[in-house]
Chain A
Amino acid sequence: MASRKPVFNQQVLYDTTPLPDSIPAVKEVGATSAPLLSAAFFIGARCRPYNDDYMQCKTENPGKGEFECLKEGRRVTRCAATVYVTSLHPDIFIRPKIPNTSTECPSVFVYYADEPDNRSTDADTLAVPEVEWKLNQCVFDNLKLEKTIPNTPKDQIPVHLRTKQIYAHYPILRDRGQPSLGKSIDPPSAKAQAQTQAEAPAS
C-alpha cells in the first residue's frame, strides 16, 4: 500500500476540511495505545467478522482500498466503539468524550490500562496478570466477551490464564485467605458454566 510519508513531516499538516456529506460520518474511537491494547481481545472477540471483512476488502482492492473500503471501515469503527462505550471509563479518552458511557468496569480497566505505561514503555499488556484476570472477569460478566488467543497449542494452558509466568514482572500472589492458585485459573466462561451447572439441579 502507498505508505510514503509526507516530505514535510516535521510540520503539522493541518487540513480541517471535513468529509463531504456523501460519506457518512462516524465518530472515531480516539483512545490511546494502552486502553486500546487492553481492549484488543474484546474488540477481537466481538468485531472479528467486521475486521476480517475490512481486511479482505483492503486485500481485494490494492491501491484503492482507502476509497473502496470506507463502508467496511465505518463498520469496524462502530463495532469497536460499542466495546468502548459499554465497558470503558470516559476519563481515558483523549479526543472525543463518548456520551452515555456506562462505568461498568471502570476502576479495573483504568488500572489495567494505566499499568503498561507505568511498568514499561513497551505498553506490555502482560504486566499484571491479577489485574488482567479481574478485567477479563468483569468484561465477561457485563459484555459476555472473552479473551481467547487464537492458535494457542491445544496441549498448553493459554498464557494469560497461567498462575506461574516466568516473565511476569512480579510473582503472582494469591490474596490473603484465598486457596492456593494451582496451575491455572479457569477462564470466565468456564466459571459461568460451572455455576449454571451447580444451580441447575437445585432448581
Chain B
Amino acid sequence: MPQDMPPVGGYGPVQYKRNLPASGFRPGTWLLAMGVVVTYGFYKLGQGIKEQNELAREKMWSRIHLIPLLQAEEDRDLVRRHLADQAREKELLGENFKVYNSDRYVRPTYAVTPAHTTK
C-alpha cells in the first residue's frame, strides 16, 4: 500500500497570525507622547517649586523683619520680671543669692504666683 503523500502542489499555508488591524499609533509614538507629557509635567512642577521657594523666602523675611521687635518686647518683660523678682527676694531675705555659677541670665524655672492680684 502506498504511503499517504501530501496533495500535489503542497498544503495550503496555515494561518497562525492574527489577522487584526494594529490599532492606535506605533509604540515609538506612544513613547514619545509619554515623554512629552512627563516633560511638561516636570516643567510645571519645577515652576511650582520655584514659586514655593520664593513664597518661602517672602515669609521668612517677613518674620526676620519682625523678630527684633518681638524679641525686644519679650526681653523687656523678662528684665522687668527679673528685677521685680530680685527686689522681692531682697525684701524677704535681705540679700540676693547667686544661684547659678555663671553670669548668664537664666529664665526662671519657678515663679511667684501672687495670691491677690489687682488686675
Contacts and interface: CB of A to CB of B under 8 A. Distances in A.
A76 B72 contact: yes
B106 interface: yes
Interface in A37-59: 37, 40-41, 43-44, 47-48, 50-51, 54-55, 58
A63 B110 contact: no
Contacts of A126: 55, 58-59
Contact of B76 (A47, A70, A151, A165): A70
A104 to B, nearest CB: 20
Contacts of B52: 167
Interface stretch (A21-29, A85-93, A185-193): A21-29
A15 interface: yes
B55 A167 contact: yes
A66 interface: yes
Contacts, number: 158
Interface band, chain B? 35 or more
A116 to B, nearest CB: 11
Interface stretch (A5-13, A133-141, A174-182): A5-13
A115 to B, nearest CB: 14
Interface residues of A, number: 62
A166 B105 contact: no
Interface stretch (B7-15, B20-28, B111-119): B111-119
27 contacts: A4-B107, A6-B108, A11-B113, A13-B113, A14-B117, A14-B119, A15-B84, A15-B111, A26-B76, A29-B69, A51-B65, A51-B68, A55-B68, A58-B71, A64-B103, A66-B79, A66-B82, A73-B73, A73-B76, A125-B58, A151-B57, A152-B57, A156-B54, A159-B51, A159-B57, A166-B51, A167-B48
Interface of B: 47-48, 50-52, 54-55, 57-59, 61-69, 71-73, 75-76, 78-85, 87, 102-114, 117-119
